[in-house]
Chains A and B, each alone.
Chain A
């Protein structure tokens, strides 16, 4: 197990969110979408210009920008 930034995850890679370290509006928007520690995610892909990222949670698909993904650490299989 190792932890990497969400930004650096590859397409189709699975992982479990380890920390979300940001307060304020962005933090809240991330959390209210269900992106909290313990959530399992899979990267669906990226937009044509590599940004934003689309990720799959159990029941929904969420998109966020690379610089927003930088606040999220994910635990992945090496």
Chain B
């Protein structure tokens, strides 16, 4: 037999932790409310039964306002799992039982998992689960989801409830004389018309009408407009009545009564506390310092800076290993394959392109590991708290902070997981504004370009310039968000009412899952999109070949030099000795210069060169020449390819991302480049169209329309900025 089991509960109660524990899955867990946003399925077997477990998004109640809440409720009423496990945080029992109460009113077959009993114990809270079970009339099993304690008993209880297979039995709570009377009248209509009874228990429908649950009301209107109208009349009447007599809305009375029900139940020997209510927990003591109005922001800056340091200095060694590995691979291929198209494809197309991206994996991993620590410890929720006022000025929300940081707010991140992280935002407008502006951050792919150009033109104050461009990214993103929120995304801000979870020591498993999950998205991108794009770009930069006549011309020039040098030197050059005499070295250099000229001529003749040249008249406005155009075009696909494409376009052969020394010298010497052009280029690269993978992600999270908007808007916006910088800079002769 197969049975369906769903995990429901408050945000941050430990549902995903339990889900992972039960199924051995590796879903994202975080000490931040609202991590799971869609239902996830897994399977396990227990005592010969196959159980399909569904992890639902956390909700505080069953009235659906946001998409996540709808997912949870719809799943329960549409899929009708044989048993629902309600995960309850024992250290915050009263608030958690508010949802339990509503699950009981819905009547689903329920088992309560009393989670985090370890935390409760450390706070001196003791819960008599037998008494709680007696009052709620459902099994209550104490567990510690993190360690797996009690999960066997929990599954036993769940299977027992499921195999009873009894019909849904809704609990009915009294809501006071006024509302009970109204409910009775409404019930009469609902029963008579069989109004929504195939989905919801009658009393539940009536209560949701009194609570003005929009989604249910709309659904009611579609199903039976006449009955819906009559119900609405009754609701209006009783709202009127409670407003006049008590000055409250019916929904407030309902909430009060539910809490009253819970309180009276807890008072009957369910909960006992060793310490008085004013006792400060460790978490509060930490918060006294970390969210202090004066030192809090300073500590936040220090922590973010430490994360930056950690990422960049610790990843240096593994990054260089990977790079050496890829250049070793390139050399091997050179040995094995004969000179020609295939070798060029494998080295320039595949190894350089993919290697350039994979070389950055350690850096990305360290950054995500650091973010995971901040998130799992509970600190990120504090950052949201401290930053909310600032973000609100720009029409965003305190919770926007996480997506921005993941996307590269501290420099080095990735907009792909960043865009996905916007799911924790509840309001669609604020979420959209965040989603469209996170690609402005300096992700791990833009860093090498910035490092290259800063190194070439502003080597004196590298760190300051890097910092300046990080700040600039934030400023521009905020202003763009403000612009969006006051035009296409106008709307009131959503409530900030949020829970600050207690600080928790992150688990190693949690951190690893977390880091890997996000890093994997980056790696996947290298293996798929970037591989394809590198090959495509390589082809565009290679074909069509130079006409034979021109090739012959270059060959003739080489011959002339060799003939002039004489046979001795030719022999020396062919011998490939390392220390050549001066004359031989000079000849070698002249030959190399011809090679370069030929490469440049070939590039100009290729498809990419033709496109770049065609674009030059426009791009000149911002100071970019045709070779830069080719690199920037490549950047539409993935920002990672900009450096390697620039390298190829400036005909230096192999340039890999980190060792761009020679490329930077070449740029410095080139007439087309100077400080003003460099700044214009960096600004354009920072702000133009998000890379292809991010666009796909935006399309998935929002729509293709928004993805197209993002591509067009950002490119135009970045170009205007770049032109302004170039024209002003040139006018004041800053180059």
Q: Check if A58 is an interface residue, CB within 8 A of chain B.
A: yes
Contact digits for B496-526, partner A, Cβ 8 Å, 1 yes 0 no: 1111101000000000000000000000000
Residue A30 interfacial (CB < 8 Å) = yes
| A35: B residues at CB distance < 8 A | 497
B259 to A34, Cβ gap below 8 A? yes
Question: What's the Cα separation between A35 and B497 when bound, in Å?
Answer: 10
Contact A44 B284 (CB under 8 A): yes
Contact between A64 and B98, CB atoms less than 8 A apart: no
Residues of A within 8 A of B386 (CB): 47-48
Which residues of chain B are within 8 angstroms of A56 by Cβ–Cβ distance? 284
Contacts of A54 in B (CB 8 A): 287, 291, 385, 500
Q: Tell me the smallest distance from the CB of A25 to a CB of chain B, in Å.
A: 5
Interface string of B84-105 (1 = CB under 8 A from A): 0000000111110010000000
Centre residue among A34, A42, A50 by max chain B CB count within 10 A = A34
CB distance from B381 to the nearest CB of A (A): 9
- Cα A29 to Cα B63 with chains together (Å): 10
Q: Report the minimal beta-carbon distance from A38 to chain B, rounded to whole angstroms.
A: 8
A60, B385: Cα distance in complex, Å: 15
Asked if residues A30 and B388 are in contact (CB atoms below 8 Å), the reply is no
Q: Take A47-B385, A56-B284, A61-B499 as given contacts and tell me if A32 and B255 are in contact as well, using a CB distance cutoff of 8 Å.
A: yes
Minimum C-beta distance from B247 to chain A (A): 7
Flag if B277 contacts A45 (CB, 8 Å): no
**Scoring A residues 34 to 67 as 1 if CB is less than 8 Å from chain B, else 0, what string do you get?**
1111101010111111111010111111111100
- A34 and B93 CA atoms in complex are apart in Å by 11
* Residues from chain B with Cβ under 8 Å of A26 in the complex: 495, 497
- The verdict on B251 contacting chain A, using a C-beta distance below 8 Å, is yes
B496 contacts across to A, CB distance below 8 A: 52, 63-65, 68
Q: How far is the CA of A61 from the CA of B92 in the complex (A)?
A: 10
Tell yes or no: B278 within 8 A of A by CB: yes
> Are the C-beta atoms of A37 and B256 separated by less than 8 Å?
yes
CB pair B497–A30 under 8 Å, yes or no, is yes
B598 contacts A by Cβ under 8 Å: no
A21 contacts the other chain (CB 8 A)? yes
Which residues of the partner chain A approach B713 to less than 8 Å between Cβ atoms?
Answer: none
Report whether A28 and B251 are in contact in the complex, using a CB–CB cutoff of 8 Å: yes
Q: How large, as a class, is the contact surface on chain B? A: 35 or more
A52 to B499, CA, bound (A): 12
Nearest chain A residue, comparing its CB with the CB of B287 = A44
Residues of A within 8 A of B277 (CB): 40, 58
> Is A25's CB under 8 angstroms from B495's CB?
yes
B388-A45 in contact (CB<8A):
no
Contact (Cβ within 8 A) A59 B94: yes
CB distance from A20 to the nearest CB of B (A): 6
B249 within 8 A of A: yes
- B248 contacts the other chain (CB 8 A): yes
Task: Write the A14-36 contact mask toward B (1 if CB under 8 angstroms, else 0).
Answer: 00000111011111111111111
Question: What CA separation (Å) do A57 and B307 show in the bound complex?
Answer: 33
Whole-angstrom distance between the Cβ of B69 and the nearest chain A Cβ: 10
Does B296 belong to the interface (CB within 8 Å)? yes
CB-based contact B500/A21 at 8 Å: no
A20 to B500 Cα, complex, angstroms: 21
CB contacts (< 8 Å) of A37 on chain B: these are 256
Docked-complex contact A34 and B500, CB < 8 angstroms? no
9 closest Cβ pairs, A-B complex = A32-B60, A49-B389, A31-B255, A59-B92, A61-B500, A29-B497, A23-B249, A32-B61, A34-B95
30 A-B residue pairs with Cβ-Cβ distance under 8 Å, sorted by A, are A19-B248, A21-B248, A23-B212, A23-B249, A23-B252, A26-B495, A26-B497, A27-B251, A28-B65, A29-B60, A29-B497, A31-B252, A32-B60, A32-B61, A32-B255, A33-B497, A35-B497, A38-B256, A38-B259, A47-B386, A51-B388, A52-B385, A52-B398, A57-B95, A58-B94, A58-B277, A60-B500, A61-B284, A63-B497, A65-B495
A residues lining the B interface (CB < 8 Å): 19-21, 23-38, 40, 42, 44-52, 54, 56-65, 68
